[in-house]
Structure 1
Amino acid sequence: MDFQRVDVVYALLFDEKANKILMVFNKNGTWSLPGGAVETGETLQEATIREVKEETGYDIKVGNIVTLNEAFIDKNHVYFITYHGQITKRPEQIPQEENIIKVEWVNLEEADRLMPYHPEGISKILNESGAKYTLQKE
């Protein structure tokens, strides 16, 4: 069986004062971190910044990779890459995005419950420094 490689990126955005994570409720009925598929010619970091802006209106800086998950879904071999993100500008208004029902700051315990694909929980990921990412130049 031939599988198509698909790269999906997410940003883990944490508000320390409120102790909350920025999450999105998707039209497919699942919660996730803001993010989405990488487009042709786009780096992983560029895709993360673009997807977060499209879905939430937030401008971010992207830090280290904090998780890498992979799955076989239908005929796709999907890599889910999550970056630490830092908000650089908050939106005055959350944009309406066709695949997103709502954007919400969720407390850590609830985030752990809503995202079972991180078995040790988002709270554990927050405390790890992550892996360095380098875009190699030829």
Structure 2
Amino acid sequence: MKRTIQVEGFIYNEKKDEILAVRRRDLSWGFPGGTVEKDQTMEEALIQKVKQQTNVEISIDSLLFCRERRTEWEHVCTIVFKATAIGDFNRPINDESVFRVKWLSIPTADGLLALEKTPLNKLIFDKGVLYDHLNEFPVS
């Protein structure tokens, strides 16, 4: 069974009451992010994937929740972090890995994002939990 760790960023613009969303190649909307590579921490992967997909730099605030999906052939764990955009983030730019990047209003995003039973308003006010990692093996 193939095991994969995915990371996604819930990036909220408090001034405009919008979140950053990406429209993937399968035309579904979601949070920016991607797969954690062998030599990355989850934080490093999320910062790199968000920058690559949207040209928005972020800092990680907290860990919000985890989704897990398991079938006979794969096991995928998706970790969602609350993050803050750094600097000028009004004009996201997408790369070839996503179809579109857009700041969406909360009502619009609530209708487009497939978060199962988690309303976005809950995520906005949720402080999450501290994310900390210990690298026992130095990166060469």
The TM-score with structure 1 as length reference comes to 0.89
1:130 aligned partner? 128
Partner Cα distance (1:13, 1:27) in 2: 20
Kindly tell me: are residues 102 and 114 of structure 1, through their superposed partners in 2, closer, same or farther at Cα, counting changes over 3 Å? same
2:17 aligned partner? 19
Partner Cα distance (2:4, 2:88) in 1: 29
Kindly tell me: are residues 96 and 15 of structure 1, through their superposed partners in 2, closer, same or farther at Cα, counting changes over 3 Å? closer
Kindly tell me: are residues 115 and 62 of structure 1, through their superposed partners in 2, closer, same or farther at Cα, counting changes over 3 Å? same
Ranges in structure 2 where 5+ consecutive residues have no aligned partner: none
Aligned residue among 94, 99, 108 for 1:110: 108
| Cα shift at 1:110 | 1.6
Given residue 34 of structure 2, which amino acid in structure 1 is its aligned partner? G
Kindly tell me: are residues 75 and 38 of structure 1, through their superposed partners in 2, closer, same or farther at Cα, counting changes over 3 Å? same
Describe the SS at the equivalent of 2:117. Answer: coil
Given residue 117 of structure 1, which amino acid in structure 2 is its aligned partner? L
Describe the SS at the equivalent of 2:99. Answer: strand
Q: State whether residues 94 and 101 of structure 2, in contact with CA within 8 Å, keep that contact through their aligned partners in structure 1.
A: no
Partner Cα distance (1:40, 1:118) in 2: 29
Aligned residue among 2, 19, 29 for 1:4: 2
2:117 aligned partner? 119
Kindly tell me: are residues 107 and 74 of structure 1, through their superposed partners in 2, closer, same or farther at Cα, counting changes over 3 Å? farther
| Cα shift at 1:95 | 4.2
Does 2:69 match 1:63? no
Q: State whether residues 20 and 108 of structure 1, in contact with CA within 8 Å, keep that contact through their aligned partners in structure 2.
A: yes
| Cα shift at 1:120 | 2.5
Kindly tell me: are residues 103 and 137 of structure 1, through their superposed partners in 2, closer, same or farther at Cα, counting changes over 3 Å? closer
Kindly tell me: are residues 127 and 24 of structure 1, through their superposed partners in 2, closer, same or farther at Cα, counting changes over 3 Å? same
Aligned residue among 26, 29, 32 for 1:31: 29
Aligned residue among 17, 37, 41 for 2:39: 41
Given residue 60 of structure 2, which amino acid in structure 1 is its aligned partner? V
- Percent pairwise identity: 26
Instruction: Please give the root-mean-square deviation of Cα atoms over the aligned residues, in Å.
Output: 1.9
The TM-score with structure 2 as length reference comes to 0.88
Given residue 18 of structure 1, which amino acid in structure 2 is its aligned partner? K
